[in-house]
Amino acid sequence: MDLFSAPGAASGAAPPAPPATQPEPPLRQALREAPHTLHPTLWLGHQLGRQADATCASGYPALDAELPGSGWPRRALSELLLRQPGIGEIRLLSPCLTAIQRSGRLVMLFDLPAALSARALAQLGFDVEALLVINTKALPCGDSLWALEQALKSGHVGAVLAWLPPRLRAERLRRLQLAAQAHDGPAFVLREMAAAEQPTAAPLRLALRPAGADALGVRLLKRRGPPLESPLRLALPPVLSRAEREYAHTALEPKPAALHGATFINLAGLL
Amino acid sequence: MLWIAVHLPLLSLESFAATLPAEMAAQPLALEDEHRIVGANAPARQLGIKPGLKRATALALAPQLTLARADPRRDACALDAVAHTALAFTPNVAIQPANDAVGAEATAPDTVLLDVQGSLRYFGGLEQLLQRLQRALAPLGHRLHIANAPTALGAALLARVHRRFDGIDLPATQRALDAAPAWLLGPGHAHWEALQGMGLRVLAELRALPRSGIARRFGAELLDELDRAYGAKPDPRVALVLPPAFESRLELFARADSADQVLHGAGILLDRLIAWLAAQHAFVRRFTLVMQHEPRWRRGDDGVLTPPETTLELALAEPSRERAHLLVLLRERLARFALPAPTLELRLHAADIAQRAPPNVELFPTPRSEREGLLRLIERLQARLGHEKVHSLAAIDDHRPELATLMRPADAHAVCRGRGSFPSATAQMPSMPAVRYEDAEPAPGMRVRPVWLMTNQGEPLQERDAWPLLDGRPLQLVSGPERIESGWWDMRLVERDYFIAQQPDGALLWIYRIRRLASKPSPGWFLQGRFG
């Protein structure tokens, strides 16, 4: 029996549909209404998927509302696409990562794109001394992925944040996703924006772009659930005071004529 | 007294096979001494090779035979590992000396004796103890004959004839000895041939002869040996003392060209190391593997003379004696390392050990097991990538941003300290207060710093009319200036006015302008960092 065909929608060649008066079998009813009661990994296309494991709250209620399981998934990769480092990605992840550090678990960073500032991390609430940074940039690509895979497989690391080399082959990412199943915590991989055109093994894929001072535009390109049409705009932990932010915002206000068009093209090119 | 004798009938062959790559060890092998075969493995025996054949005959029978000289030193090294393993069960362990060497019949000792009378209760009886002993000896890969008897020599002799002999009391042992062949006392002695010639088959027949006659004919030594075996005379043994430092060598029969071959040999040495550690309930903190290379007198391509040996030193964050873990560390280190020349001999040395109680075996993950798992992971990463690639961060009190962060090789213990302090690694995350950042402000007086820093002084920015540009587009200054003027004491003076600038899409940058001086009219703009 085809479990996924809608009840009563069988075509003429198929066995005749049960008469409407007959009560619907409970399995079918459950499948139609609430498949997640049968198995946590089943969901209907228009519903938001559930996570078998508890998720880690992102610290942004607007984002949590759109993520399956209301938070960053554990035991799976979360792919973040961004044009360049320094648009607010660390501030986006900091509530989740610092909570993991506070729960006594290790956060590991792989292949930083630039030098880190310890003071800035401390200001975001990180325990700087308890971060482990692996730098494999000078080594062959195999080594860097090996290190990441080991960290994921070990299952003892609280969270992993990795900047992947550009133009990573899809099967390598799939391998990381397999390794991540042993990893009890969120695993973030950050990649270049151009990767959006290729399919991904990660069950969650977000595109990030700046959306004004101290704000980040987040588009959910892939999730277990229906696609999200409009990007989210998240206010990040602030760098600027309120007055400065307002000033920055007015400075960004599109001026009439030429600048308007330029801004439009710019944003369209980014996503 | 209760003695267990562990006899290794194939010790010489097995210690020789250990020096071969795995695929070669399954081929026909034989050992020769003075041009005569003294031992052959099963494939060689199938080809008709048996002890006593002449070397030339054996090679004619089986041209593919791998033939090597018996080496008592090699055998002694392998037997030491067995004795060390036995030391984990009782402090009274002795190696049964081989019979005095006479002529061609030089044999290495191949029996280890354990006095287990004092350990029976602890290990829960003889059967349990024997099972554990066999399990402990299994990694060394020897074929074992085990006998237990009330006399040391009795056990040693009976282990030579029986695969498993259980002498519950003295009379049973004496009966078994009576039925044992007389040649047991023979080999290596001057009276060997005389015994043969007298037609004495079993020890009972020898014992039936008048003692004075035996003493006159064969010397008091033989009588003495008989009496000790039968328990008529005390047989004190000197207990083996564990050497304070571990040192073992393995001469490879086939030279090792690849890291895998070296690793195979190193695995055997590691087994011996683990036996030595287990005997003293210790864990190794640091060990050294020395690879002795084939001598080469020419210079290599780079003009450097090939070193005679290479030393790999492994330091462990957490003392360990787990074979798999040590082998993984060694493998990662060897993988990073290009062997300068084929390896002929391996030596393993260890002196730095930690004595402690063995960790409890845990069924479910606990903070402790999580911490250990992390230490292992960090160790493995350090072994493969190198210590200089695994960093931890530290903040330094300095206003100059390029000097305020210290990246240093991570100390695994420091990173793991306090890890897993919660009852369960999978415990729920502490609940997070939902902060709404829309209206938030930085804490009063806090100057927020960017997470990402450009290296050193920062990147120079383009300018148009003294206004900073990035990617050809003007930046909007939204905060600042903040002056940082510091470092006059260490000759790296900075005098900078910092601004937070906004890119046209809203990304925030940290840029600075060198303080304007009358002497330098246009000092220029620099990008210091990005707010990640």
A95 near A58, Cβ under 8 Å?
Answer: yes
- The residue assigned the tokens 């044999």 is B107
Chosen domain end from B230, B260, B277: B230
Task: Report the alpha-carbon distance of residue B392 to residue A158 in Å, rounded.
Answer: 16
Structural domain span for residue B108:
3-15+64-230
C-alpha span between B248 and B208 (Å, rounded): 47
B347 & B477 share domain? no
Strands B164-166 and B145-149: parallel
pLDDT(A241) > 80: yes
Q: What is the mean pLDDT of chain A?
A: 80
- Quote the Cα angle for B482-B486-B488, to 5°: 150
Chain A residues 180-199 within an 8 A CB cutoff of chain B: 184
Contact assignment for B405 to A115 by CB distance below 8 Å: yes
The token duo for B480 is 């600042």
Q: Both B109 and B163 in a single domain?
A: yes
Question: Residue B4 has what pLDDT?
Answer: 93
Q: Is A129 on the interface with B (CB under 8 A)?
A: yes
**Shared-domain flag, residues B192 and B257:** no
What is the identity of the amino acid at B202?
V
Q: Are B451 and A190 in contact (CB under 8 A)?
A: no
Across B57-66, B291-300, B304-313, which has the greatest mean pLDDT?
Answer: B57-66
- For an interface test with A, which of B478, B509, B530 has the most A Cβ atoms less than 10 Å from its Cβ? B478
Residue B189 has pLDDT above 70, yes or no: no
Question: Residue B441: its pLDDT value, please?
Answer: 79
- As a whole number of angstroms, the distance between CA B44 and CA B58 comes to 9
CB–CB contact A117 B376 (8 Å):
no
> What's the gap in Å between the CA of B350 and the closest CA on chain A?
28
Instruction: Give A256's pLDDT tier (boundaries 50, 70, 90).
Output: very low
Gap between the Cα atoms of B399 and B404, Å rounded? 7
Nearest-Cα distance to chain B for A206, in Å, is 16
> Whose structure tokens read 């990463």?
B381
Strand partners, A208: A82, A218
A146:B507 CB<8 A: no
Max mean pLDDT range (A240-244, B29-33, B273-277): B273-277
Averaged over A139-154, what is the pLDDT? 84
Whether residue B212 is found in the same domain as residue B92: yes
Q: Do B505 and A117 touch (CB under 8 A)?
A: no
B122 lies in some domain: yes
Q: Which residues of B touch A248 (CB under 8 A)?
A: 476, 478, 502, 506
- Predicted confidence (pLDDT) per residue in A89-99, tens digit: 999 999 999 99
Chain B, 49-68: which have a CB under 8 Å from a chain A CB?
A: none
pLDDT value of residue A3? 42
Determine the pLDDT at residue B298: 61
Range with lowest mean pLDDT among B234-238, B380-384, B440-444: B440-444
Shared domain for B413 and B504, answered yes or no, is: no
When CB atoms are compared, the residue of B392, B425, B440 closest to A133 is B392
Which residue, among B310, B242, B233, B234, has the nearest Cα to B272 in the 3D structure?
Answer: B242
CATH number of the domain residue B277 falls in: 3.30.1490.100
Q: Is residue B46 part of a domain?
A: no
Which of B421, B530, B405 shows the shortest CA–CA distance to A131?
A: B405
User: Taking 80 as the threshold, does the pLDDT of residue B422 lie above it?
Assistant: no
Mean pLDDT over B319-348 rounds to 85
Q: Which of residues 346-375 of B touch A (CB under 8 A)?
A: 367, 370, 373-374
Measure CA of the first residue to CA of the last residue in chain B; give whole Å: 75
B199 & B324 share domain: no
Give B153 to chain A, closest Cα distance, Å: 51
Contacts of B337 in chain A (CB under 8 A): none
Distance CA A195, CA A172 (A): 14
The answer to whether residues B226 and B277 belong to one domain is no
B365, B371, B373, B379 alpha-carbon torsion, rounded to 10° = 180
pLDDT at A262 over 60: no
Q: Are B432 and A99 in contact (CB < 8 Å)?
A: yes
- From chain B, the residues in CB contact with A271 under 8 A are none
Which of B471, B505, B509 would best serve as a mutation to test chain A binding (most A beta carbons within 10 A)? B505
Taking the Cβ of residue B404 and every Cβ of chain A, the question of whether any pair is shorter than 8 Å is answered with yes
Pairing of strands A215-222, B452-453: unpaired
Q: What percent of chain A has pLDDT over 90?
A: 19
pLDDT over 60 (residue A10): no
Select from A108, A128, A240, A255 the residue whose CB has the most chain B CBs within 10 Å, as the one to mutate to test that interface.
A240
Contact call for B385 and A143, based on CB within 8 A: yes
Look at B531 and A91 and tell me if their CB atoms are within 8 Å.
yes
Q: Is residue B397 part of a domain?
A: yes
Confidence of residue A11 (pLDDT cuts 50, 70, 90): very low
**Residue B428 forms contact with A (CB below 8 Å):** yes
Contact check, Cβ <8 Å, A239/B405: no
| B48 in any annotated domain | no
pLDDT category of residue A160 using cuts at 50, 70 and 90: very high
* Number of domains making up chain B: 4
Least confident of A138-142, A175-179, A206-210, B340-344: A138-142
**Cβ B435–A95 below 8 Å, yes or no?**
yes
CB burial readout B498-512, b (16+ within 10 A) else e? bbbbbbbbbbbbbbb
B338 touches chain A (CB under 8 A): no
Overall average pLDDT of the B149-174 stretch: 89
Whether chain B has a CB inside 8 Å of the CB on A270: the answer is: yes
pLDDT score recorded for residue B82: 92
* Residues B191/B217, Cβ–Cβ less than 8 Å: yes
Whether residue B32 lies inside any domain: the answer is no
pTM exceeds 0.90: no
Q: Which pLDDT score is estimated for B433?
A: 61
CA angle B388, B392, B394 (to 5 degrees): 125
Contact B432 A156 (CB under 8 A): no
Domain at A61-240: CATH code: 3.40.50.300
pLDDT tens-digit series, residues A242-254: 888 888 888 776 6
Whether residue B337 lies within 8 A of chain A, CB to CB, comes out as no
Chain-chain contact of A241 with B415 (C-beta, under 8 angstroms): no
Assign A50 a pLDDT band (cuts: 50, 70, 90): low
Same domain for B72 and B217?
yes
pLDDT band at B410; cut points 50, 70, 90: confident
Across the interface, whether the CB atoms of A128 and B507 are under 8 A apart is answered no
Taking CA atoms, what residue in B is nearest to A123?
A: B448
Contacts of B505 in chain A (CB under 8 A): 209-211, 266-267, 270
Residues in chain A with CB shorter than 8 Å from the CB of B401 are 117
Same domain, B11 and B114: yes
Nearest-angstrom CA–CA distance, A208 and B5: 72
Interface check for B81 against chain A (CB to CB < 8 A): the answer is: no
Which pLDDT band holds residue A12 (cuts at 50, 70, 90)? very low
Find tokens 């391509």 and name the residue. B301
